[in-house]
Amino acid sequence: MKKGFIFDLDGVITDTAKYHYLAWKELARELGIEIDEAFNESLKGIDRLSSLERILRFGGQELAYTEMEKAALAAKKNAQYVELLTDLSPADLLPGIADFLAEAKKQQVPCAIASASKNAPMILEKLGVAANFKAIVDPATLKKGKPDPEIFLKAAEAIGLAPAEAVGFEDAQAGVEALNAAGIMSVGIVRDGNLTATTLNVTDLREISVTELLAY
Ligand code: BG6
Ligand code: MG
C-alpha cells in the first residue's frame, strides 16, 4: 500500500520543460552552439549550472569560461526563462493534474515536490497549487542532483514516508533513475519520446487514479 506522492515539476505538473529548452537554445546560439530537442532530453531534470556545462561540453567549449562567467551565463538563461513564465496561470497545469491533486487532498494523501528547479515555489504559486504540497525540497540543500536519489529520499522523509510507501512522478530519465535508486515506485509521464525502467508509463494523470496508485 502506498501512502503519498512525490512530483517532479517541469514536464509533470506543467509544461515548463519547453520554456527551459527555448531559453537554453537562445543562450547556446549566442555562444555559437546549436542544440536540438534530442540533445535537450539529456538536460531534463539536470540543475541549471550542470545544464550549462553539458551545453558547453556539447559545443566543445567546456574550458572556455571561468566559474564567474558560467554563473553569469546561467543567470542570463534564467532571466530569459522567467520572462517566458510571465503569463503562467492555472490554465497551464498539465491535463489531469488539478483533479488528481484535489482527490489526493480529499483523501488526505500527502504530496511533495522534488524538482531541481530553484523557480519551483514561484511556479507553483502561479499555477495556484502551492497549497497542495506539504513539502518542497530546496534544491540548494542537495549534495547531488538527479540521477542521485537524494532529492527523492528527502522528499519522502519530509512527508513522513519510507521510500516503499511513496509513488514518484517523472518525465525525465535522470529522474526515473533517481527514483529507482531511492527505492520509490516510478510513474513515467510520457508525451513524446520514451522512458524506460519505470513501474508504469502514462500520457497524463487522467489515465490513473489516486485510489489505483495507493493500492500498489
Ligand atoms: C529541472 C528541469 O526541473 O530544473 C531542468 O528539468 C532545469 O531543465 C532544472 O535546468 C533547474 O531549473 P531552474 O529553474 O532552477 O533553472
Ligand atoms: Mg521534469
> Whose C-alpha lies nearest to ligand 1, atom 16?
48
For the stretch 55-103, pLDDT in tens is: 999 999 999 999 999 999 999 999 999 999 999 999 999 999 999 999 9
Best residue for ligand 1 mutational test, from 48, 54, 78 (most atoms within 8 Å of Cβ): 48
pLDDT attached to residue 192:
78
- Ligand 1 proximity of 51 Cβ (cutoff 6 Å): yes
Residues 6+ positions from 199 with CB-CB distance below 8 Å: 185, 186, 187, 216
pLDDT attached to residue 89:
98
pLDDT attached to residue 5:
99
pLDDT attached to residue 191:
86
> How many angstroms separate the CA atoms of 180 and 194, rounded?
16
pLDDT attached to residue 61:
98
Query: Closest by alpha carbon to 121, among 23, 112, 21, 43?
Result: 112
Quick count: other Cβ atoms within 10 Å of Cβ 139?
A: 19
Are 168 and 6 within 8 A, CB to CB? yes
For the stretch 4-26, pLDDT in tens is: 999 999 999 999 999 999 999 99
> How many angstroms separate the CA atoms of 122 and 193, rounded?
28
> How many angstroms separate the CA atoms of 56 and 69, rounded?
12
pLDDT attached to residue 18:
93
- Ligand 1 proximity of 9 Cβ (cutoff 6 Å): yes
The per-residue pLDDT of the chain, averaged, comes to: 97
147 prior amide bond cis, ω within 30: yes
Active-site residue set: 8, 10
Angle value at C-alpha 116, between 115 and 117, nearest 5 degrees = 85
CA of 20, nearest ligand number: 1
The answer to the question of whether 36 is labelled as a binding residue is no
pLDDT at 178 over 90: yes
User: What is the average per-residue pLDDT within 35-61?
Assistant: 96
Q: Which three cell numbers stand for residue 138?
A: 530546496
- Ligand 1 proximity of 146 Cβ (cutoff 6 Å): no
The yes/no answer to whether this complex scores an ipTM above 0.95 is yes
For the stretch 95-124, pLDDT in tens is: 999 999 999 999 999 999 999 999 999 999
Collapse the DSSP code of 169 into the 3-class scheme (helix H, G, I; strand E, B; otherwise coil) and give the result: strand
Domains identified in the chain and CATH numbers:
4-15+89-214 (3.40.50.1000), 17-84 (1.10.150.240)
